[in-house]
Chains A and B, each alone.
Chain A
């Protein structure tokens, strides 16, 4: 395949394989690395709740009383973490906040629940589970290795040309 200073393998194939390796490597290393650091950075595993205003809640049920299947909770029944998230979400423009701490009412929220607070009723549901990211332990190191190897592939053409020049110089000096 090698043809003097112009080799298809080193000029095009090697960098192509290199880019593929980098792309696959990023796909492995970024989530792999994130899985390693996530517990240090984030409150993963704690869901985000969405709280609808009393007006939106009333509109949701069209003036009817919600059915018996819908959990109805008093604000005081919520854990302190749930209370904090609830109050923050009520003030939030989008009406969402992550619960940081215990979520004993997670199942109720998952199905959608009514929370009574200061005489008003708020419809509360889980909008994101925020599950912890899980990755194979080897994913990060192998991903980094693939990126490094890929870079070598991408740099193959100039390296190859340098080697060819070296060979040519050596040939002349002999």
Chain B
């Protein structure tokens, strides 16, 4: 078996040396000796002095932008460390037996991978982005408590060291063992990485004697303090430090998400801290919180997941905030449904505390209690779905610019939909009992934690790179990298979903040989993710020195769609002050949500809202009636041919409590076609594709035909089924055409009359 400590230590050292090499090389290239001569001793001394003052500045800074960058750098380093763990895990899974690492090493790898990524990668990066841009977005001078902000960050490096001390001590022990006898350095040879799983379940975590577990608990506790401190700072900043003109109603969506995230963290992390202290006491002072004689092992699971599930939303919400902020900029449209996104975020914040026991469906908890958690876990999909709906609608008919941030946003929506929908299945108790211990769960949550979350971090890094550095990154490489990481994530985690669906257990170093090909595909996908991460790192580092300097105050052309938000206004001011650059003015500007003109509504937008609504409503009703009559022709033909059963109309009548008569059902159908569906069309027609109204009507009819096909299906098969589907579709097209053509006819008639009258 390979020695994990040496391999991981070497890999991390190689990564660090490569980054340092790139940094020094590019820096030297960027600043050549002006006289062409050799570097003198004085210059070296000057350089050392400069480095000293820089180090001092970075160690003592309280500037929110500096601390933001420190957070991002720290989070990236932790992410790379956790990524090395992941690559090592995937390498082991290339072959069915545990023949590259020992099973214990494998256990340690997935334990530390999980903890490093969740605690030290995701949250610090989001806190970093928040620190940098949030005060700019809300017009604050700095965070509310700058010194506390600095303390919050500087607690994290020692926390990470404590958590990952096992590896460092192992490496040190093996180095010392080259010169010292094993007996003299027994401590260093005894410590090892924790291998009890990132969830630290009792009684294993209480009973395993590895002293590194204690250090890990202390490290996690420290990181929890750092997070709580940071959360308090964000909340106070957003509540009290907003600039002039920034109200709750127009607070940007990223700040809303950071506010809710911080609120969740404020309630969740202190509880984790308490649970960690209890575990420490159980391990070291003989208390019995999690012993069978005391609180019981299940108590740990309750406490852990009471933090653990809100933690999922702590990680996820900032990513959705970034999505809602960045996506509109690259589709030239205002975010659709700002209010609903805010409400859904608040809803997630509350609901996230009511679902924790869905992680415990396979325990002996009371089934009635589990049932309530199942209901809330299914319900929590709704606010997330609202977000997805709003993002897709924002993109719809947009003026899409295929940049790296956009590719990552679109890819993030894709992975989130699959990751989210597979999660809804897991919320159902019987399904979860089947799949809880399989790769299905791994695939499900990785589609989110290696989907939308890092995608949006990277998207943000590209989006704000000109703002932070004043330079452009290599945009072509960025587009390529974006596509690569989306591709790699899909390949890896869709494969895991499939093998999980087939029943392959997770958390095992050894697996049956028939799964080897699938595991190899997943591993290659994992390597692609790793390579794309390195490509991103290369682009970020090298472009800092070699990137083309930004020479405009509006690098993304946001003024053209009236989306030049506060952080870019700050950037513009800085460019004007620093380089005396003229503020960029676009040739044309338009409101970001109406490509051609101001939205006028379908009927021309004249008069009061009430008049417009009532006018639209009656025209839609007439159109709907005509459409339904036309549609009936198709449906009657279908009934005559025998592919549609009229009895199914009776079910509609039953649905509203009337006798199950096909005639009553047909009457209700006519009413629905006249009132409900035309009004829905009216509400959504602006967001449906199609340049002409009848095209939009056809799209609408096609969409609603799927509901009809399901509702009126009575077991047709073979050709009858094909005929049924065809008639349903064609009849709905007739409805769509009838609705929209009548509507347009009435509208043009009215317009003619109003012009004549005027």
Q: Is A128 in contact with B103, judged by CB distance below 8 angstroms?
A: yes
A51 to chain B minimum Cβ distance, whole angstroms, is: 13
Q: Is B104 in contact with A127, judged by CB distance below 8 angstroms?
A: yes
Q: List the A side residues contacting B524 at CB < 8 Å.
A: 20, 23-24, 27
On chain A, the number of residues with a Cβ less than 8 Å from chain B's Cβ atoms is 32
With A19-B532, A41-B2 already in contact, the answer to whether A129 and B104 are too (CB < 8 A) is: no
Q: Is A42 in contact with B2, judged by CB distance below 8 angstroms?
A: yes
B94 within 8 A of A: yes
Q: Is B104 in contact with A131, judged by CB distance below 8 angstroms?
A: no
Q: Is B99 in contact with A23, judged by CB distance below 8 angstroms?
A: no
Q: How far is the CA of A132 from the CA of B97 in the complex (A)?
A: 10
A30 to chain B minimum Cβ distance, whole angstroms, is: 6
Q: List the A side residues contacting B100 at CB < 8 Å.
A: 31, 34, 133
Q: Which of A23, A38, A41, A157 contacts B528 (CB 8 A)?
A: A23
With A96-B104, A129-B97 already in contact, the answer to whether A22 and B480 are too (CB < 8 A) is: no
Q: Is A130 in contact with B210, judged by CB distance below 8 angstroms?
A: no
Q: Is A22 in contact with B476, judged by CB distance below 8 angstroms?
A: no
Q: Is B528 in contact with A128, judged by CB distance below 8 angstroms?
A: no
Q: How far is the CA of A23 from the CA of B484 in the complex (A)?
A: 12
Q: Is B2 in contact with A16, judged by CB distance below 8 angstroms?
A: no
Q: Is A94 in contact with B483, judged by CB distance below 8 angstroms?
A: no
B29 to chain A minimum Cβ distance, whole angstroms, is: 16
Q: List the A side residues contacting B525 at CB < 8 Å.
A: 23
Q: How far is the CA of A89 from the CA of B410 in the complex (A)?
A: 53
On chain B, the number of residues with a Cβ less than 8 Å from chain A's Cβ atoms is 34
A78 within 8 A of B: no
User: Looking across the interface, which residue of chain B has its beta carbon closest to that of A133?
Assistant: B99
With A31-B95, A44-B1 already in contact, the answer to whether A22 and B531 are too (CB < 8 A) is: yes
Q: Is A31 in contact with B102, judged by CB distance below 8 angstroms?
A: no
Q: How far is the CA of A131 from the CA of B103 in the complex (A)?
A: 11
Q: List the B side residues contacting A16 at CB < 8 Å.
A: 480, 483-484, 487
Q: List the B side residues contacting A42 at CB < 8 Å.
A: 1-2
Q: List the B side residues contacting A131 at CB < 8 Å.
A: 97-99
With A20-B528, A31-B100, A127-B104 already in contact, the answer to whether A93 and B210 are too (CB < 8 A) is: yes
Q: How far is the CA of A127 from the CA of B477 in the complex (A)?
A: 47
Q: List the B side residues contacting A11 at CB < 8 Å.
A: 476, 480
A12 within 8 A of B: yes
B107 to chain A minimum Cβ distance, whole angstroms, is: 10
Q: How far is the CA of A140 from the CA of B77 in the complex (A)?
A: 30
B282 to chain A minimum Cβ distance, whole angstroms, is: 17
A48 within 8 A of B: yes
Q: Is B211 in contact with A23, judged by CB distance below 8 angstroms?
A: no
In chain A, positions 130-172 with a C-beta closer than 8 Å to chain B are 130-134, 157
Q: List the B side residues contacting A20 at CB < 8 Å.
A: 524, 528
B112 within 8 A of A: no
Q: How far is the CA of A44 from the CA of B479 in the complex (A)?
A: 45
User: Looking across the interface, which residue of chain A has its beta carbon closest to that of B102?
Assistant: A128
In chain A, positions 30-71 with a C-beta closer than 8 Å to chain B are 30-31, 34, 38, 41-42, 44, 48
Mask: chain A, 91-130; 1 = CB below 8 Å from B; 0 = not: 0111010000000000000000000000000000001111
Q: Is A19 in contact with B94, judged by CB distance below 8 angstroms?
A: no
B523 to chain A minimum Cβ distance, whole angstroms, is: 6
Q: Which of B99, B476, B483, B523 contacts A132 (CB 8 A)?
A: B99
Q: How far is the CA of A23 from the CA of B480 in the complex (A)?
A: 16
With A22-B531, A27-B524, A94-B104 already in contact, the answer to whether A133 and B209 are too (CB < 8 A) is: no
User: Looking across the interface, which residue of chain A has its beta carbon closest to that of B527?
Assistant: A23
User: Looking across the interface, which residue of chain A has its beta carbon closest to that of B209?
Assistant: A93
Q: How far is the CA of A54 from the CA of B152 in the complex (A)?
A: 47
Q: Is A128 in contact with B98, judged by CB distance below 8 angstroms?
A: yes
Q: How far is the CA of A15 from the CA of B528 in the complex (A)?
A: 12
User: Looking across the interface, which residue of chain A has its beta carbon closest to that of B208?
Assistant: A94
Q: List the B side residues contacting A127 at CB < 8 Å.
A: 103-104
Q: How far is the CA of A15 from the CA of B2 in the complex (A)?
A: 32
With A22-B531, A128-B98, A129-B97 already in contact, the answer to whether A27 and B480 are too (CB < 8 A) is: no
B520 within 8 A of A: yes
Q: How far is the CA of A56 from the CA of B221 in the complex (A)?
A: 31
In chain B, positions 185-230 with a C-beta closer than 8 Å to chain A are 190, 192, 208-211
Q: How far is the CA of A22 from the CA of B2 in the complex (A)?
A: 22
With A23-B527, A26-B527 already in contact, the answer to whether A130 and B480 are too (CB < 8 A) is: no
Q: How far is the CA of A131 from the CA of B397 in the complex (A)?
A: 58
User: Looking across the interface, which residue of chain B has its beta carbon closest to that of A20?
Assistant: B528
Q: List the B side residues contacting A92 at CB < 8 Å.
A: 190
Q: Is B102 in contact with A48, judged by CB distance below 8 angstroms?
A: yes
Q: List the A side residues contacting B527 at CB < 8 Å.
A: 22-23, 26-27
Q: Is B480 in contact with A15, judged by CB distance below 8 angstroms?
A: yes
Q: List the B side residues contacting A12 at CB < 8 Å.
A: 479-480, 483
Q: Is A94 in contact with B192, judged by CB distance below 8 angstroms?
A: yes
Q: List the A side residues contacting B99 at CB < 8 Å.
A: 44, 130-134
Q: How far is the CA of A26 from the CA of B87 in the complex (A)?
A: 11
User: Looking across the interface, which residue of chain B has its beta carbon closest to that of A96?
Assistant: B104
B184 to chain A minimum Cβ distance, whole angstroms, is: 15
Q: List the B side residues contacting A157 at CB < 8 Å.
A: 476-477
User: Looking across the interface, which residue of chain A has its beta carbon closest to that of B101?
Assistant: A128
Q: List the B side residues contacting A22 at CB < 8 Å.
A: 527, 531
Q: How far is the CA of A133 from the CA of B91 in the complex (A)?
A: 13
Q: Is A30 in contact with B91, judged by CB distance below 8 angstroms?
A: yes
Given contacts A16-B487, A20-B528, A93-B190, 9 further A-B contacts (CB under 8 A): A19-B528, A19-B532, A22-B527, A27-B94, A31-B94, A31-B95, A34-B100, A42-B2, A127-B103
- Can you show 28 pairs from A to B with CB atoms below 8 A apart? A15-B480, A16-B483, A16-B487, A19-B532, A20-B524, A20-B528, A22-B531, A23-B527, A23-B528, A26-B527, A27-B94, A27-B523, A27-B524, A31-B95, A42-B2, A44-B1, A93-B210, A94-B209, A96-B104, A128-B98, A128-B103, A130-B1, A130-B98, A131-B97, A131-B99, A133-B95, A133-B100, A157-B476
Binding site for A on B (CB under 8 A): 1-3, 91, 94-95, 97-100, 102-104, 190, 192, 208-211, 476-477, 479-480, 483-484, 487, 520, 523-525, 527-528, 531-532
Binding site for B on A (CB under 8 A): 11-12, 15-16, 19-20, 22-24, 26-27, 30-31, 34, 38, 41-42, 44, 48, 92-94, 96, 127-134, 157
In the A-B complex, the 8 residue pairs with the closest CB atoms:
A23-B527, A93-B209, A133-B99, A23-B524, A23-B528, A128-B102, A128-B103, A131-B99
